[in-house]
Amino acid sequence: MGFVKNIKEEIKLIRERDPAIHSAMEVFLYPSFKVMIYYRLAHRLYLKKHYFLARWISQKAVRKTGIEIHPGAQIGKGFFIDHGNGVIIGETTVIGDNVTLYQGVTLGGTGKEQGKRHPTIGNNVMISTGAKVLGSFKIGDNSKIGAGSVVLEEVPPNSTVVGVPGRVVKRNNRLLPQEELDQIDLPDPVREDITGLQRANAELTNRLLDLEREMKELKKTRE
């Protein structure tokens, strides 16, 4: 894809996914737009084994945008970072098509592996604000990672993950992120557990009251 076509695609993508952008010219001020221009150049140099130049360009991009994308990372089409300050994408990360990241997301390693040590993100995935995905495993297609989650193991396709450590709380949610970018209305497993305990406690209390009533009635009949 040519340079001009890349720019047109980025402008279209950002305007589709960010309602705060009111004109094409505003896109040129957008950190996501700037960092992707730097990334593409750095990635080409990285593939040609010009590692120092590639890293120099990527570090320049960090200073200008607050987003760190290692030039070795592989990123598919339709990639979008909303705001993006604090986003970190490691060297062996692989990102599929139509992926959306929010500010503060880390796609990192645990520091223990050799070779492939960063996650693989499937197609149509949304990773919400402050989420951390750490390790060499896959986030399945059409999945959502809730804000602040820490994901340490593989996520099946069509899943919603929340919590620390992250746990799958919903599956077969097939809405694509460009159609459904809601970071708030996600299942809350802690609240669901508390609600279940409250329901069980109420049922137990009612059962005890019934038993007390039956014992009193039985006592009266014997008297």
Which three-class secondary structure state does DSSP give residue 153?
Answer: coil
Measure the CA angle with vertex 90, ends 73 and 168; round to 5°: 105
On whether the CB atoms of residues 35 and 67 are closer than 8 A, the answer is: yes
d(CA 57, CA 60): 5
Higher-confidence residue: 157 or 211?
157
Closest CA to 71 of 86, 90, 97: 90
Mean pLDDT across the chain: 83
The amino acid at residue 51 is Y
165 prior amide bond cis, ω within 30 = yes
* Global confidence as pTM: 0.72
The pLDDT assigned to 196 comes to 73
Q: Are 131 and 88 in contact (CB under 8 A)?
A: no
pLDDT digits (tens, 9 = 90+) for 114-165: 788 999 999 999 999 999 999 999 999 999 998 889 999 999 998 888 888 8
pLDDT band at 185; cut points 50, 70, 90: low
User: Residue 28: how many CB atoms within 10 A of its CB?
Assistant: 13
Residue 33 is encoded by which pair of tokens? 């737009």
Exposure on the CB side of residue 217, measured as CA atoms within 13 A: 6
Would you say the C-alpha torsion 165, 170, 176, 180 has a positive or negative sign?
A: negative
List the structure tokens of 26.
């505003």
pLDDT band, residue 189 (cuts 50/70/90): low
Answer whether residue 45 shows pLDDT above 50: yes
Q: 74-75 and 100-102 as β-strands: parallel, antiparallel, unpaired? A: unpaired
Please determine, for residue 36, whether its predicted confidence score (pLDDT) is greater than 80.
Answer: yes
Q: Taking 50 as the threshold, does the pLDDT of residue 192 lie above it? A: yes
- pLDDT value of residue 31: 85
Alpha helix stretches (DSSP H) within the chain: 3-17, 24-27, 31-47, 51-65, 189-222
What average pLDDT does this structure show over 38-67? 94
| SS percent in the chain: helix, strand, coil, step 5 | 40, 20, 45
Of 14-18, 23-27, 201-205, the least confident: 14-18
Residue 171, pLDDT score = 66
Q: Where residue 178 falls among pLDDT bands split at 50, 70, 90?
A: very low
Calculate what percentage of the chain has a pLDDT beyond 70. 87
Beta-bridge mates of residue 101: 81, 127
For residue 85, what are the contacts with CB-CB under 8 A and spacing of at least 6? Answer: 31, 65, 66, 67, 103, 104
